[in-house]
Amino acid sequence: MSHRLLHPSASGKRWQWQSRVGALALAVHPHKQRGLGLTRRCLVLRQLVRILALVLLLPMFSGCVRPVSRTRTIVTGRLEPRHFHFVTVVEKTEEGPGGWRAACVHVRILRSNTGESFDCRLGIEVPIENDDGPVSVQLAQRIAAERTNETSRVVFESATPITPLGLLCEKFKNTLRPLIEASIGGARLMTRCHEKAIPVQLGEIVP
Amino acid sequence: MSLSTEQLLAIARTYWRADKSYELRQEKSPEAARLEVRWNQALARVDRWQAFLRELKQELPDFTIGDGTATPDACFRCVVYPVKGRPLPPFDWIVVGCVSILAPIYIVYGVEYGRVGNRKRLNPRLRFEPFPSGMRHPADVIARKIEESFGVSKLPRERAETPVPLFVQWVEPPETTLFHALFTNEPHNVP
């Protein structure tokens, strides 16, 4: 199944995080708008400066220089709770807080104009029970998906077309970590996935 | 036989790297692979740890005993909460016992938390010996039971705080110490 499900954007650079059956990807669509420079008024002023060399006119240029290009970033799509496939790592046999589960999601970040991609690996690990009571798999999945989606908006909307994808992944994880830990007492976001956690990549379980 | 600080440093270097070169790579580092092997060996004998937790419960009936063991760390952790109930009522401190899976050593530490309204576990503050009066009794019981059950030695705080130039999960030099590498890299984060 093709993972490039993204459509050219007419509204400028666009991040799309698509989540369909069997596909999960994040892509950047850089879109250059026409170049902008000095306005006609500014050009006249510049000419005046050249001819008359009047330094006093220079402050009149303020506000003439506009961005050469303008971009904006839109994040669409969602990671679903079912993408977080938790497995038990440490059994819980006693009453009270304890036990340990791990999940691993490989989010593919794709820059559509160059084809450059990066697998951003999220290892999320949670206790089976904490001070609030049992942390069901469903609860862990829902919270993991919610926090991940919130973070994706914050981080990817601030990205530029030249942001290295690996750096973007690191920023994503650094932002997500405190949110996950604050949402489920005892939970952790890992620098690597646990070996027993089955990686879910692009909607498929990778053996 | 107690291990020297140099020997403990050598052990730490076996399981954690001095760089982040593998962080963005597909394959795991040799150090991470070795730590996984150690965890698999340790968890194969988890029944010993569970028996210890049951005994600790009997020794501290007025406390809740939790199992804070998490494989991102390098130790089995028992957590003593000064409250009982399910869910647990709000609490301001905990005492934790850690038995390393990498060396025959253990440590006991405490964490004090702040609380504002419904927001709990704020501003965690780590405590080591000498403990405040409330923590002292559970800390003494944990230490005695660990020594009886596992025959391991307490690592003094001064040695535990020896800096190590290693990357231990999210903890990076110069912050990293033997405590992070041989016990836990998120001491305040318990279930």
Three-state SS for B166?
Answer: coil
Cross-strand bridge partners of residue B96 = B79, B109
pLDDT band at A68 (very low <50, low <70, confident <90, very high): very low
pLDDT band at B27 (very low <50, low <70, confident <90, very high): confident
Place of tokens 């994880």: A173
Three-state SS for B156?
Answer: coil
Q: Is B88 on the interface with A (CB under 8 A)?
A: yes
Nearest-CA neighbor of A191 among B133, B56, B23? Answer: B23
Nearest-CA neighbor of A132 among A188, A194, A182, A189? Answer: A182
pLDDT band at A72 (very low <50, low <70, confident <90, very high): low
- The reported pTM is 0.81
Nearest-CA neighbor of B33 among A186, A192, A14, A112? Answer: A192
Three-state SS for B167?
Answer: strand
Higher-confidence residue of A81 and B26: namely A81
Is residue B56 pLDDT above 60, yes or no? Answer: yes
What does residue B39 show for φ and ψ, rounded to 5 degrees?
A: -65, -40
Q: Span B178-188, mean pLDDT?
A: 98
For A102, which residue in chain B has the nearest alpha carbon? B71
Is residue B82 pLDDT above 70, yes or no? Answer: yes
pLDDT band at B116 (very low <50, low <70, confident <90, very high): confident
CB A112 within 8 A of CB A28: yes
Angle at A160 between CA A154 and CA A161, to 5 degrees: 130
Q: Is B177 on the interface with A (CB under 8 A)?
A: no
Higher-confidence residue of A114 and A196: namely A196
Nearest-CA neighbor of B128 among B153, B96, B89? Answer: B96
Q: Span A180-201, mean pLDDT?
A: 91
Higher-confidence residue of B184 and A34: namely B184
Place of tokens 């027993």: A196
- The residue among B31, B86, B120 with the most chain A CBs within 10 A of its CB, best to mutate, is B86
Distance (Å, whole) CA A134 – CA A97: 8
ipTM: 0.95
Nearest-CA neighbor of B190 among A127, A164, A113? Answer: A127
Higher-confidence residue of A108 and A151: namely A151
The pLDDT of residue A159 is 80
What does DSSP say about strands B105-116 and B153-154: parallel, antiparallel, or unpaired?
Answer: parallel
Distance (Å, whole) CA B133 – CA B138: 10
If you compute the radius of gyration of chain A from its CA atoms, what whole number of angstroms results? 24
- The residue among B71, B75, B95, B119 with the most chain A CBs within 10 A of its CB, best to mutate, is B71
ω into B156 cis (within 30 of 0): no
Question: Could you say which of A129, A132, A188 has the minimum Cβ distance to residue B72?
Answer: A188
Distances in whole angstroms, Cα of residue A62 to Cα of each of A40, A56, B184:
14, 12, 56
Q: Which residues of A touch B189 (CB under 8 A)?
A: 181, 186-188
For A134, which residue in chain B has the nearest alpha carbon? B87
CB A92 within 8 A of CB A99: yes
CB A186 within 8 A of CB A127: yes
Is residue A46 pLDDT above 70, yes or no? Answer: no
